[in-house]
Structure 1
Amino acid sequence: MYDHGKRSVRKRTFAALTALLFAVYALGSAPYALAEDGAAAISGTTFQLGESVDAAILIDFETGQVLYERNADEPRPPASMTKLMTEYIVLGLIRDGKLNWSDVVTVSKEAASTPPDGSQIYLAEGDKHTVEELYIAMAVGSANDATIALASHIAGSEAAFVDMMNAKARELGLSTARFTGSTGLQEDTVISARDLAKLARIILQEHGDTFLKYSSITQYKFRERDKDPMINYNWMLEGNKDVPNFRQYVYEGVDGMKTGYISAAGYCFTGTAKRGDRRLISVVMGTDSMGERFLETAKLFDYGFNNFEMKTVVQQKSTIESVETVKIKKGVKTEVPVVTESDVTFLVRKGAEPQIEMTNLDVLPPEELVAPIPAGTKVGSVTYVYTDGAYQLEKTVNLITAEEAKKGSWWRLLLRGIGEFFRNLFKGIIG
């Protein structure tokens, strides 16, 4: 069982240390810096999560910028948030044509033997359900038996599927992740808040529409004979706004992702919300109650949406003063204009005037740029550094040709070569 007494003593101690560290830090903190406990200082105001939160992180989906963090690199049990990796693997197999939503899964003995102390839909050995039905049961109802049924169907056994999970974690660079099961019931499955946020961002980048289609389902009746539908454990979903019991937790724009709870983990939640063109991803780990994880997540989302805005410092297809053209060989012209391939956008504090500096200009030499050269060809890159107090972020944008560089005719190249020969000869004589 979960020992609330030990957690409360530990958290009172943590709170006292937090207060001391923050007081020391505040004496010399810069805007948009991170305090020792992860509280972010913005223009003289402070933002802080409740002391019950063991670990947390808030990132911007588009840029990946970290807006807030607390103990974000400590590996902790994620409970059912583990299923995000299971869902990611399923979605990848479907995308690659190796699995179909309509495929029929025969429930294995392993899945039917799932311990009864967690969420499940009471599958029996030999039951037949589609991949889609089991996926929804996993995504909406966090059904452990449905999760193991999918894992066994895909890899032959849950153990073999766990090997796939750990291999995928290494591939994605999730250095703190160690999976020992597909469901998250195991206490020795661990991952950091930062790596969970990274995984969540990858899922949304690669499978956004499909993932959110299922994660935003508020309730789902698995079988026609079931008396009641399963209810999504994500009470923040905007679709719950008319449900009296959930109304206080509903947050505008929330459409995913995954809750979790075991006694070793506390109440956890990886969430995402979109407002306008901005999407945020948050992770909260180790709170003391089902509702608290959502209230703390709402604080993170409020902080991210209310205090930051996107600022474009370089427009797409802009000319860079220090490199308006690049020299080429064997073209009708000897140089071709270049522009930025994309814009350069940073997430900045609202009302801030950040310092933007161009660094690391890199352009290919003429010997590597031989006509004909199509428009849009990459010929270099330039890096911009954004500085706001103690905080720095850099972004690199490609430089591309703004127009086609056609190859010069043989007589044009011959005359140009003769001209260059005599110019060099003349320089040698007078030099």
Structure 2
Amino acid sequence: MKENNYTKTRQHKKRQIMKKTIAIFIGFQLLCGTLAPMMMFAEGKAATTAATTTPTTTAADISSKMPTAASLNLEVSSAILMEASTGKLLVDINADVALPPASMTKMMAEYIVTEQVKQGKLKWDTVVTTSENASKAIGSRIFLAQGDQHTVEELFIAMAVGSANDATIALAEHVAGSEQEFVKMMNDTAKKMGMKSAYFINSTGLSRADMPEKYRPAEDRETVMSARDVAILAQHIVKDHPDFGKFTTIQSYKFRERDKAPIINYNWMLESNKNIQSFKKYAYEGLDGLKTGHTIAAGMCFAGTAERNGMRLISVVMGAKTEAKRFIETKKVLDYGFNNFEVKQAVASKSVVQGAETAKLKKGKSKKVAAVTESAVSFVVPKGANVDNVTFTTKLDDTLIAPIKKGQKVGEITYTYKNDQNEQKETVNLVAAEDVEKAGWLRLFFRAIGDFFADLFSGIKNLF
């Protein structure tokens, strides 16, 4: 039986060699006549996917356990702390419980409006006419009358700084035609962002009963967001619109010349408030946003963000008992983050990765293209820890065809950082470090012939 199998194997290999020999013979015959048909050989051999894991020297890292409300002495319904660049959570206290967010809802309205401006669909100097719905808004407002006209920028400042419900509704209706159509945009955007529990019934965060009856949604539901949802939304704001501070740091704003008093920013924690007598005890170094919120159902809420030494943190507290308490509790959360953690770069941008220095390429002047990381990779680590124990896996694209442009994606690399309490992963693209032009057909032809011979000799060698 073994002998029969051996005989069959030898016969199969002989047939393979014969087929390759005939193909090469035909190729040489065509070379003597016309070479154009030989472009069928130009693909060459298929590239393969490269993968490697390279653990480095492991060193002891400072461990960090997720704190509790008791350990931070927090008096809130829920709280969260996120590092903005990585999304790493440092505090998680009932962070997935859906709660009324009050005016933190307006962060979604702010995001959509700024996206509209960014995309050229809206201009800051566009004039908006106040509708009946906007004029009937209660709560925080700038007392817009039906028919009043103001620019998008003026209304945006009133919304971001003074939490004005009427200004928010006016903007929502201008963008989408009606507030309820704008609410659809809000809910769709929330899903795209990965917000799991968020549901909006209006643009302001007011309870359904506080909306003008004529403009209430048919469904008897309320706006809810979890602290995690709010943090995700805040992360998108600071990353997608890094100039957010242009509005959120405005301390006061006179909306109309006739107004006796300006709008005062509800955010007492702005760093710029350190010189204002009534706010200086709340002013927080590096804090430049984002949004307060308050209704009877929600209690006192605040989504804050601050940056120190290159690390930006996002905090959310919900259900604080008093206006001052929401800022006092926020300080505890932010202090925990800044006092115990730092962001460390594990890999620099445009780094060459061991084992994935090149990606295979078809039809190029070169059979390979040099690969580097597209961006830097950083991790949030306990202060004093190192990132020497980072491991990685790579995956190169096996379908690359010349021409290739510098910066074009050629694969991916996933870095993993572990300490004794958590694991973080970060995936970045591997990109071409150079341009690679497409090879001429003659070069491709002879490359194909060479590959055939290489396969032929390899087949003969394997027979013995």
Could you say which TM-score interval applies, normalised by the shorter chain? 0.7 to 0.9
Aligned partner of 1:203 in structure 2 is: 237
Alignment deviations for residues 265-300 of structure 1 (CA, whole Å, 9 cap, x no partner): 111000111224221111111111111111111122
Mean CA deviation greater in 196-205 or 300-309: 300-309
Residues 228 and 417 of structure 1, relative CA distance in 2, 3 Å threshold: closer
Rounded to whole Å, the distance in 2 between the matches of 1:173 and 1:272 is 20
C-alpha contact (below 8 Å) 1:354/1:388 kept by paired residues:
no
Aligned partner of 1:27 in structure 2 is: none
Which is higher, the Rg of structure 1 or of structure 2? 2
Aligned: 1:306 with 2:329: no
> RMSD of the TM alignment (CA)?
2.2
Residues 26-425 of structure 1: matches in 2 within 5 Å? 31-34=63-66, 37=68, 48-115=71-138, 118-186=139-207, 188-209=222-243, 211-354=244-387, 356-365=389-398, 368-425=399-456
C-alpha contact (below 8 Å) 2:391/2:417 kept by paired residues:
no
Rounded to whole Å, the distance in 1 between the matches of 2:173 and 2:99 is 26
Residue type at the aligned position of 1:154: V
Rounded to whole Å, the distance in 2 between the matches of 1:108 and 1:421 is 76
Shift of 1:414: 4.2
Rounded to whole Å, the distance in 1 between the matches of 2:126 and 2:461 is 82
Residue type at the aligned position of 1:229: P
Shift of 1:172: 2.5
Shift of 1:415: 4.2
Residues 167 and 422 of structure 1, relative CA distance in 2, 3 Å threshold: closer
Residue type at the aligned position of 1:151: A
Rounded to whole Å, the distance in 1 between the matches of 2:430 and 2:460 is 38
Partner secondary structure for residue 290 of structure 2: strand
Alignment deviations for residues 23-61 of structure 1 (CA, whole Å, 9 cap, x no partner): xxxxxxx922325x467xxxxxxxx33341111111111
C-alpha contact (below 8 Å) 2:346/2:387 kept by paired residues:
no
Rounded to whole Å, the distance in 1 between the matches of 2:112 and 2:98 is 21
Residues 38 and 339 of structure 1, relative CA distance in 2, 3 Å threshold: farther
Which structure 2 residue ranges, 5 or more long, are not aligned? Answer: 1-61, 209-221
Tell me how many residue pairs correspond in the alignment: 388
Shift of 1:324: 2.3
Shift of 1:375: 3.0
Alignment deviations for residues 132-158 of structure 1 (CA, whole Å, 9 cap, x no partner): 222211111112222222233333433
Residues 360 and 76 of structure 1, relative CA distance in 2, 3 Å threshold: same
Rounded to whole Å, the distance in 2 between the matches of 1:121 and 1:104 is 17
Partner secondary structure for residue 33 of structure 1: coil
Rounded to whole Å, the distance in 2 between the matches of 1:406 and 1:93 is 39
Rounded to whole Å, the distance in 1 between the matches of 2:450 and 2:178 is 74
Structure having the higher strand fraction is 1
Residues 121 and 62 of structure 1, relative CA distance in 2, 3 Å threshold: same
C-alpha contact (below 8 Å) 2:159/2:165 kept by paired residues:
yes
Shift of 1:103: 2.4
Which structure 1 residue ranges, 5 or more long, are not aligned? Answer: 1-29, 40-47
Rounded to whole Å, the distance in 2 between the matches of 1:393 and 1:348 is 10
C-alpha contact (below 8 Å) 1:76/1:190 kept by paired residues:
yes
Residue type at the aligned position of 2:348: Q
Residues 287 and 421 of structure 1, relative CA distance in 2, 3 Å threshold: same
Residues 237 and 51 of structure 1, relative CA distance in 2, 3 Å threshold: closer
Aligned partner of 1:13 in structure 2 is: none
Partner secondary structure for residue 119 of structure 1: coil
Aligned partner of 2:214 in structure 1 is: none
Rounded to whole Å, the distance in 2 between the matches of 1:207 and 1:407 is 39
C-alpha contact (below 8 Å) 1:327/1:335 kept by paired residues:
yes
C-alpha contact (below 8 Å) 1:200/1:281 kept by paired residues:
yes
Residues 129 and 343 of structure 1, relative CA distance in 2, 3 Å threshold: closer
Q: Report 1 or 2 for greater relative contact order, CA contacts < 8 Å, sequence distance ≥ 6.
A: 2
Residue type at the aligned position of 1:265: A
Rounded to whole Å, the distance in 2 between the matches of 1:133 and 1:406 is 52
Residues 291 and 430 of structure 1, relative CA distance in 2, 3 Å threshold: same
Residue type at the aligned position of 2:88: Q
C-alpha contact (below 8 Å) 1:38/1:71 kept by paired residues:
no
Rounded to whole Å, the distance in 1 between the matches of 2:457 and 2:137 is 88
C-alpha contact (below 8 Å) 2:344/2:387 kept by paired residues:
no
Residues 79 and 370 of structure 1, relative CA distance in 2, 3 Å threshold: closer
* TM-score, with length taken from structure 2: 0.78
C-alpha contact (below 8 Å) 2:69/2:75 kept by paired residues:
no
* TM-score, with length taken from structure 1: 0.83
Residues 294 and 129 of structure 1, relative CA distance in 2, 3 Å threshold: same
Residue type at the aligned position of 2:352: T
Partner secondary structure for residue 319 of structure 1: coil
Shift of 1:191: 0.4
